[in-house]
Amino acid sequence: MPDTLSTIDTPAAIVSLPRMRRNIARMQQRADALGVRFRPHVKTTKCAEVVAAQRAAGATGITVSTLKEADQFFAQGVTDILYAVGMAPHRLAHALELRQRGCALQILTDSVPSALAIVEYGRAHAHAFEVLIEVDTDGHRSGIRPGEDALLDVGRTLHQGGMRLAGVLTHAGSSYELADPVALAALAEQERAGCVLAAQRLRAAGLPCEIVSVGSTPTALEASSLQGVTELRAGVYVFFDLVMRNVGVCAPEDLALSVLTTVIGHQAEKGWAIVDAGWMAMSRDRGTAKQSHDYGYGQVCTVDGEPLDGWLLTGANQEHGIVSCPGAPSVNIVGRFPVGCRLRIWPNHACATGAQFSAYEALEEDGSVQAWPRFHGW
Amino acid sequence: MPDTLSTIDTPAAIVSLPRMRRNIARMQQRADALGVRFRPHVKTTKCAEVVAAQRAAGATGITVSTLKEADQFFAQGVTDILYAVGMAPHRLAHALELRQRGCALQILTDSVPSALAIVEYGRAHAHAFEVLIEVDTDGHRSGIRPGEDALLDVGRTLHQGGMRLAGVLTHAGSSYELADPVALAALAEQERAGCVLAAQRLRAAGLPCEIVSVGSTPTALEASSLQGVTELRAGVYVFFDLVMRNVGVCAPEDLALSVLTTVIGHQAEKGWAIVDAGWMAMSRDRGTAKQSHDYGYGQVCTVDGEPLDGWLLTGANQEHGIVSCPGAPSVNIVGRFPVGCRLRIWPNHACATGAQFSAYEALEEDGSVQAWPRFHGW
């Protein structure tokens, strides 16, 4: 007999496969319609089966946030890999080893010192790394602003140093802070225009710049044009989550990840059910706290995945969660959610919650589940 | 050549062994002086080498938060194991299997329905589970209040049902919300008195109650008497962290866990160094946000572990952290922390940060480090 949501142990990270497949198709169709390649960010799932589904739907290569992800997916046959975190000099040996084994690994820099380290290591090993320059289009984190002199300095350092200057990359991560389609479309245009400007400046200076890579889940879904862009990246769209729900780029029926949990006790006078999903299962992410709707540590649903309006995971210790309905403390909690009863909880942030588990439990339409391993650490 | 903080990859979870050993000795001495057994909570580390050090110092048995911890440590020869989370009925088969293999596993309940499930399963398998009743002495989570009728109802259900009623257990977890030694000592006394009262009520009703188990790191360190108590539990004391620093139960030189990180870039105008320790390394725990000193995502230290006053991990994305000094933005950040420079960061919460890693890097006084595996998931 196949496993089901009634038979597997809890807490478990449940992936609704019909929803995941729909989310994958939606983003691929966006990229196709906008005329760009799509390179999913696999940091969200670190799971071979999910990435296989993204590639089967048309994805061209993958984006990674660690070289461990590159190692793992290269071992599974993916050769086109973009490492989208600024290159630390001590990791160049690892990157070189991957490239020498046949992985078309691209690396990233946003400063002359970092570019010089790449050039020196590459020259010392007679190897031309393929390098993108990170562009800052919204001020939220890393990168060189499109109009800065440093952009050309880094480009010349790499190109004249014998490296392959492959292109420019940006990530408008501040899109997570918005919640209005007009503002999101404006940020998507800012992301596109800034990255294209950086590419144009490099080309005008006689430097190569084939790749123009942009993306975040919200801007990818709200962009109306990606003129001048060659590839789109996004990660959390594959599952979506409550933060994305508040941003406004998905509906409740798109939420593909939930945590299955069991009721282990009550504090009846307080209207609390105690469950076995604490912060170790949900993560400590409270990303919805500063958004329009604060979901606590997550939205409580029935075991069948139907949201229970007003019921939240309002507290979390390591292996204990508190389920309550802040507006209605007088409910008969013991009768409604008896010991042993199972619930599902939508997380705030799918990347953070998934990382707490060593496997997803992939749930088919027929109710069967199977474990899909995911890896952990660096 | 042995590995050192200069040669290992980053991010890495560094454990200072001299500090860890001192913390272990300090807590064991407390328990010895108070005349009780000490049963460390291994959920903090999930690491065989750490637990071996705790046992070598005198710990009697261990406390676990998952049956996976019980499985792993039983496989390593620990037989005296207390599973200190309310028993879910579906886990009774797993608990029985451990006990039948020779593990003296104790389980926990705080309600008649849960006790009945234990009795029914035990009787059906002709097995007397060893059960503690969870007592609520501070209202923060699970348990029966010491004076409630339910305490005796649960005791009778277990005892008359043929289970071995082993004792009572409480955890005054609200101690994490305090910061004053007088208030902590008062809470420690409340924890002790409540748990002892529960034991006395059970005994007065003719029920057995051998074990009286209390503890949290702050109350364990501030209790002046544990009269009537038989065992003490604590977990995070082994490493301590910034939350415990704010609570006031450790000094900076007691902080045994830090995250080693590498500078990968800058936003010089903003005074930011970008490092490769984001929330995946630190966890999303922001436990100091509501305390007297908010450390952001952590306190920045030199690679030698000296705190850099005012420098915090002020922002965190998945694999990017932002190091800055909120009071002094005009520093020459690129010169001070160049690309490739290594730093260490004290975390808010050692349990949450450790869980992000698949190994600790144990740092000896001589500067050598070796990997100590830790496990993950359920």
Between CA A62 and CA A80 the distance in angstroms is: 6
Q: Cβ–Cβ of A377/B355 closer than 8 Å?
A: no
Task: Enumerate the residues of chain B whose CB falls inside 8 A of the CB of residue A91.
Answer: 9
User: A120 CA to chain B: closest CA distance, Å?
Assistant: 14
Average predicted confidence (pLDDT) for chain A = 97
User: What's residue B319's pLDDT?
Assistant: 98
User: What's residue A9's pLDDT?
Assistant: 98
Q: Residue B16 domain-assigned?
A: no
Task: Name the residue among B176, B110, B184 with its Cα closest to residue B348.
Answer: B176
pLDDT, tens only, A60-114: 999 999 999 999 999 999 999 999 999 999 999 999 999 999 999 999 999 999 9
Interface test with B, best of A264, A286, A342, A374 (most B CBs within 10 A): A264
pLDDT band (50, 70, 90) for residue A157: very high
Q: Say yes or no: B46 and B76 in one domain.
A: yes
Q: Say yes or no: B150 and B263 in one domain.
A: no
Task: Enumerate the residues of chain B whose CB falls inside 8 A of the CB of residue A142.
Answer: 264-265, 267, 274, 320
Between CA B274 and CA B294 the distance in angstroms is: 20
Of the candidates B203, B238, B273, which is a domain's last residue? Answer: B238
Question: DSSP labels for A3-42?
Answer: B-TTTS-SSEEEEEHHHHHHHHHHHHHHHHHHT-EE--BG
- Measure CB to CB from residue B358 to each of A9, A89, A376 and give the nearest one: A376
pLDDT, tens only, B165-183: 999 999 999 999 999 999 9
Q: Residue A193 domain-assigned?
A: yes
Q: Which two tokens stand for residue A23?
A: 């989310």
Q: Say yes or no: B41 and B151 in one domain.
A: yes
User: What's residue B330's pLDDT?
Assistant: 75
Task: Name the residue among B300, B93, B90, B179 with its Cα closest to residue A11.
Answer: B90
Of the candidates A194, A216, A240, which is a domain's last residue? Answer: A240
Q: Say yes or no: B194 and B74 in one domain.
A: yes
Q: Say yes or no: B102 and B219 in one domain.
A: yes
What is the mean pLDDT of the segment spanning A16-32?
98
CATH number, residue B105 = 3.20.20.10
- Measure CB to CB from residue A88 to each of B85, B276, B349 and give the nearest one: B276
Q: Any residues with CB less than 8 A from the CB of A296 and at least 6 apart, and which?
A: A286, A288, A312, A313, A314, A315
Q: What is the CA radius of gyration of chain B?
A: 22
CB-based contact A218:A232 (threshold 8 Å): no
User: B283 CA to chain A: closest CA distance, Å?
Assistant: 7
Q: Say yes or no: B234 and B256 in one domain.
A: no
Q: Say yes or no: B259 and B124 in one domain.
A: no
Q: Cβ–Cβ of A10/B88 closer than 8 Å?
A: yes
Please give the residue range of the domain that contains residue A274.
252-373
Question: DSSP labels for B112-166?
Answer: HHHHHHHHHHHHHTT---EEEEEE-SSSSSSSB-TT-HHHHHHHHHHHHTT-EEE
Q: Cβ–Cβ of A356/B338 closer than 8 Å?
A: no
Of the candidates B215, B238, B261, which is a domain's last residue? Answer: B238
Between CA A340 and CA A329 the distance in angstroms is: 21
User: B219 CA to chain A: closest CA distance, Å?
Assistant: 17
Q: Cβ–Cβ of A351/B318 closer than 8 Å?
A: yes
CATH number, residue B331 = 2.40.37.20
pLDDT band (50, 70, 90) for residue A1: confident
B329, pLDDT greater than 70: no
Residue with tokens 């995070």: B236
Q: Say yes or no: A230 and A287 in one domain.
A: no
Q: Cβ–Cβ of A265/B356 closer than 8 Å?
A: no
* Cα three-residue angle B98-B104-B108, rounded to 5 degrees: 85
Q: Cβ–Cβ of B88/A378 closer than 8 Å?
A: no
In this structure, are strands B62-64 and B80-86 parallel, antiparallel, or unpaired?
Answer: parallel
Q: Say yes or no: A141 and A260 in one domain.
A: no
User: What's residue B195's pLDDT?
Assistant: 98
Residue A212 half-sphere exposure, CB side, CA atoms within 13 Å? 22
Number of domain units in chain A: 2
pLDDT band (50, 70, 90) for residue A329: low
Q: Residue A246 domain-assigned?
A: no
pLDDT band (50, 70, 90) for residue B33: very high
pLDDT, tens only, B75-108: 999 999 999 999 999 999 999 999 999 999 999 9
Mapped to the 3 state alphabet, what secondary structure does B6-48 carry? CCCCCCEEEEEHHHHHHHHHHHHHHHHHHCCEECCEHHHCCCH
Task: Name the residue among A347, A375, A360 with its Cα closest to residue A3.
Answer: A360
Task: Enumerate the residues of chain B whose CB falls inside 8 A of the CB of residue A87.
Answer: 264
Task: Enumerate the residues of chain B whose CB falls inside 8 A of the CB of residue A113.
Answer: 334, 338-340
User: What's residue A328's pLDDT?
Assistant: 80
Q: Say yes or no: A185 and A271 in one domain.
A: no
Task: Enumerate the residues of chain B whose CB falls inside 8 A of the CB of residue A236.
Answer: none
Between CA B175 and CA B189 the distance in angstroms is: 12
User: B17 CA to chain A: closest CA distance, Å?
Assistant: 22
